């Protein structure tokens, strides 16, 4: 059982359009991450297949499925999900993606240790077998490679943990009442 009363460590953002062939595998890959608490926000971007139904059918309370009235496109679908995210961090994830074990735990640990606003790692392109995985950036490998520390004078918002230099800059609507405690 998962404790849903506390904010998740990571909000996994999945924009999906006609992704019925992949969405369940991608969600299960995210759910298999250990060492972090998750919420998964799938934005079914007005698919003509059963993407939303398959995502909902997984039946895990950590999964939210949003269905806009019209096709938004991938960027707007991601932004829609981010507006609904409650996690301390968010991770964008493709509807046909797969996480390597421990990926989110490694990224959040690095970000927390270095008090970062952004943490990024490399991507692996899977060509059908473990021996055919090719990194997007060959000289860096799949481990966390980049961490961008908070700028001087910036700190984490007490409501969301997101970076801001003053309460007025925190634009996360769920957080504004908590920002008064800043």
18-64 per-position pLDDT tens digit: 999 999 999 999 999 999 999 999 999 999 999 999 999 999 999 99
Across-strand partners of 51? Answer: none
Question: Is the pLDDT reported for residue 134 higher than 80?
Answer: no
Q: Residue 121: count other Cβ atoms within 10 Å of its Cβ.
A: 21
CATH assignment, 10-149: 3.90.550.10
- Mean pLDDT estimate for the chain: 77
Give the span between the Cα atoms of 12 and 38, in whole angstroms. Answer: 7
Give the span between the Cα atoms of 160 and 178, in whole angstroms. Answer: 9
């Amino acid at each position: 059982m998962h404790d849903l009363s506390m904010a998740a460590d990571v909000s996994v953002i999945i924009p999906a359009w006609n992704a019925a062939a992949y969405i369940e595998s991608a969600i299960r890959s995210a759910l298999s991450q250990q060492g972090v608490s998750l919420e998964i926000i799938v934005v079914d971007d007005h698919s003509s297949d059963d993407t939303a139904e398959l995502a909902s059918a997984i039946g895990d309370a950590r999964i939210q499925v949003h269905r806009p009235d019209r096709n938004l496109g991938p960027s707007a679908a991601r932004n829609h999900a981010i507006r609904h995210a409650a996690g301390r961090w968010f991770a964008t994830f493709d509807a046909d993606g797969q996480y390597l074990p421990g990926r989110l735990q490694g990224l959040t640990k690095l970000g927390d240790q270095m008090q970062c606003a952004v943490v990024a790692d490399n991507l692996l392109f899977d060509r059908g077998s473990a021996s055919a995985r090719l990194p997007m950036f060959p000289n860096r490998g799949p481990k966390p490679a980049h961490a961008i520390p908070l700028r001087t004078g910036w700190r984490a918002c007490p409501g969301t943990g997101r970076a801001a230099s003053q309460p007025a800059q925190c634009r996360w609507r769920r957080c504004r009442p908590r920002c008064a405690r800043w």
